[in-house]
Amino acid sequence: MNVKRHLLVIICLVIFACSLAESSSRGVVIKLDNALRARQQLTVTFIGNLAAGGRQAFILRLPRQESLELRVPFAEAPFNGTQLNAQINDRLLAPYFAFGGDTRYDSVKGKPGMRPPLATIEGRWVIPARWLREGDNQLVLWTTGVKKDAALERLGPKPAIRIGGVTVGPLDGARLPEYANSIYYDFNVWAQGYPWGDEPNRLNYDLALLGVINGKGMPCIAPPLGGPESSLWGIKRACEDNALGWGMKHQEFYTIWEFCERPELWADFFDVDNNLETTGQIHGQTVFPHRLPKGTDYVLFNTAKYTASLEPAIRFLAPYTDFYNFKCEQAGPW
C-alpha cells in the first residue's frame, strides 16, 4: 500500500512539473499565466542541456506584455572564465561571470574542508516589457569561456558546470540575489569597467543589487599615508557611512597601492654596482616602476619608517576595520 501511495505521489509531481514546463521542438516551454496572476516567482528545474552548461532554448509564454525578472543560479562553476549568456527575442543581454573570491590556492591546500575556489553566483536579469510580447517569447541561455586549468585539475574536484534551475517572475524587487564562494574572501565585487565618477553612492547601490552589502561584502578602506591626521577624516566618515548607513559588517584596511605609489614611506633603496643604468628585478606590486629610483638593485623594508607611516591610520580607523592587508598581495611576503 505504501509503495502504491509513493508511486502515486511521484506521478502527481511529474504531472505538475510537466504543467509548468513542457518540451517542444522549439525548446522548453515555461507557462507564466498562474505565476504572474499570483505575483510569484516560477522555478523550472526541467532545463535540458543548460543543466550541464550547454545551450538551451526556452519559450516564455505570457498572458500579457509585462517586465520580467530572470534568475539563473550556478550550482557549481569554475571561476576561471565561465560566462553565462542570455538572449531574449534576438536581443543579447549582458553576460554574468562566475567570479571566485580568494585565488590563493597554497593557503588552503591539504586543509580539511577547503576546496579550490568554485563560485556560486546567480545570474540576474531585468527584461523590460517592450522587449516582450503577449504569447510566445524565445529565451536562449548558454555558457562560454570555460578554460582548462592545470591547478584546478590537480587540486580537484575536476571543474564542472551545473545549473539547477531557471526562475522567472514579475519584476517586483522582492528578493536579492545571492553571492557566495567555497573559499569566501568576504570582499565586495570589483566591477570591471565600473563607471567611477561623481556619484558617491553608485557603487553601494550596485552592490546592493548584487546582494553583497548588509554584512555580505567588505569594502576596501585605503587611507592616505604619511600626511597630517586631518587627511584621514574623509576616509573615517566613509567608514562610518558604510557601517551605519549601508550595514556593512566588515571593512578591510587596504594599503597595497598606497605603498607601491609612495615607497619613500617604507623603503630603503640600494645601488650595489653604482651604475644608474642597471636596475634589479623589483616586482611591480612592491614598487610601481615609475616610482623606482634610477639604478636601484634591491629594496629593503625600513621597519621604523614602515610602522610610523601605518600607525596613525590604524589607530584612527581601527574601530571600523577588522581585516588588514598591508602590503602587495602575492608580492608582499617577498
pLDDT of residue 330: 47
Residues 170 and 27 both lie in one domain? yes
Which of helix, strand or coil describes residue 308?
helix
Would you say 141 and 166 are in contact if contact means Cβ atoms under 8 Å apart? yes
> What mean pLDDT is predicted for residues 297-314?
93
Q: Domain total for the chain?
A: 2
DSSP state of 203: H
86 and 180 part of one domain: yes
- Residue 227 CA from chain centroid, whole number: 34
* pLDDT at residue number 274: 93
Dist CA 71 CA 61 (whole Å): 17
Confidence category of residue 99, pLDDT binned at 50, 70, 90: low
What is the four-CA torsion angle of 195, 199, 203, 205, rounded to 10 degrees? -130
pLDDT digits (tens, 9 = 90+) for 219-263: 888 999 999 989 999 999 999 988 888 878 788 898 988 999 999
* Whether residue 163 sits in one domain with residue 30: yes
- Residue 229 located in a structural domain: yes
Residue percentage of the chain with pLDDT more than 90: 43
The residues pairing with 166 across neighbouring beta strands, listed in sequence order, are: 44
Evaluate whether residue 215 is within a structural domain: no
The answer to whether residue 214 sits within a structural domain is no
Q: What separation in angstroms does the CA of 285 have from each of 73, 142, 193, 289, 311?
A: 35, 37, 21, 9, 22
Q: Are residues 170 and 265 in the same domain?
A: no
Same domain, 289 and 180: no
C-alpha cell, 148:
582548462
Helix (H) or strand (E) holding 301: strand 298-301
DSSP string computed for 281-297: ---TTTS-GGGSPTT--
What band does 19 get if pLDDT is binned at 50, 70 and 90? Answer: very low
Contact 290, 245 (CB under 8 A): no
Q: Is there a single domain that holds both residue 255 and residue 179?
A: no
What's the pLDDT at 8? 52
Residue 310 included in any domain: yes
Claim to verify: residue 167 and residue 237 sit in the same structural domain? no
Q: Is residue 90 part of a domain?
A: yes
Same domain, 233 and 164: no
Residue 332, pLDDT above cutoff 50:
no
- Find the mean pLDDT for residues 296-315: 93
CB-CB neighbours of 55 under 10 Å: 14
Residues 181 and 224 in one domain: no
Distance CA(141)–CA(66), nearest Å, equals 20
| Residue 9: per-residue pLDDT | 46
Domain of residue 258, residue span: 220-331
> What pLDDT was estimated at residue 37?
93
CATH number at residue 44: 2.60.120.260
Q: Clarify whether residues 160 and 251 are in a common domain.
A: no
Single residue among 138, 166, 185 that ends a domain in this structure: 185
Say if residues 181 and 151 touch (Cβ distance below 8 Å): no
Residue with cell 548558454: 142
